[in-house]
Amino acid sequence: MSRFQPKPLQDQVVVITGASSGIGRKAAHLLAEKGASIVLAARNEVALNETAREVTERGGRALVVPTDVSDKAQVEALAEQAVSHFGRVDTWVNNAAVSTYAYLRTQPVEDIEQVFAVNVLGTIHGSRAAIPHLSRNGGTLINVGSILSERAIPLQGIYCASKHAVKGFTEALRMELDHEEIPINVTLIKPSVIDTPFYTQAKSLTGRRPRALPPIYDVSVPAGAIVSACGQYHREIYAGGSAAALGALQRLSPEALDTFMKHSGGYFGFFEGQLSDEPDDGRSNLYRPEPGTGSTTGNNAPRSKSVAMPSVYTAALELPPVVKQGLACVAVGAIAALLYNRKEA
């Protein structure tokens, strides 16, 4: 079916779950700079109020709705409050997520259930609550997944499994909406390793605090991908070139990637590299939000002896289709000219 053409961002009402920190909060900042109206949802009301202040300062309008996405009734109430306050919903972003670091054979089942309740059921609740409102005049549904839905890694097995579920749900939902000719664009964002509080907020059962595994991308990379998907249709966006590379390696030779992950060591190792030298202090946001006003970044780069960087790859993916087609034509022309010159030589 032909894709729905979204409204200009300054005319949109956007709901963002997980808006109190990290990717969701940064996306709210960027959308506010475009003049959007933003409904901010998360469990931490103090951090949401601070985010709302930042949105207003940047030129947007904000509505704070404290929400636990694992609770279906709360998510339905979020949708109703958004429509009651702003009159409609144009884009809905399912971004809320939690994680754990643990060996699968010993991880408590209640922790597993909580990760799935937030990451998977939260996405399902959000999507189902949003669809009736998005379908009225057309809209966009954005689910924030992970590159770990392409390739699982050790110590984050349950998080990986939850993001595989998000990917499967998103792909099936897209096909069903297309089949019913419901005018909703469905996009899956696949972030790589991003400099957010995600790693300091994750529950660790390893005895050590988690840390981000380089390369680490700036939070504006996935947040910018969300903004791009609000304005034009993308089936999926890899947020960070390393995410696309990891997916390609998985498709090329999963056995070789298994071996590499098993034997890699040091700061780039998939076992030791994911854990800092700091002892775990028991803090996490798995069952309740961390107190405070929240943050977009997690100061992960210094801890991982790395830098938070932009992504040229993702920026290219976010270009308008006509621009990408033009660049593709230029590239094809350049290759053809090169081959012709070689033949003449």
Please identify every residue annotated as catalytic: 159
Shortest CA distance to 187 belongs to which of 152, 239, 137, 136?
239
d(CA 48, CA 66): 8
CB 304 within 8 Å of CB 214: yes
Contacts of 268 (CB under 8 A, 6+ apart): 213, 214
292 vs 23, 44, 100, CA distance in Å?
Answer: 17, 8, 21
CB 12 within 8 Å of CB 88: no
Contacts of 157 (CB under 8 A, 6+ apart): 102, 104, 107
163 vs 74, 120, 148, 170, CA distance in Å?
Answer: 22, 7, 7, 10
- Cα angle vertex 219, ends 215, 224, to 5°? 115
d(CA 342, CA 220): 42
Give me 263's structure tokens. Answer: 């034997």
d(CA 3, CA 128): 20
Give me 183's structure tokens. Answer: 């005018």
Q: Any bridge partners for residue 184, and if so which?
A: 139
Three-state secondary-structure class, residue 98: coil
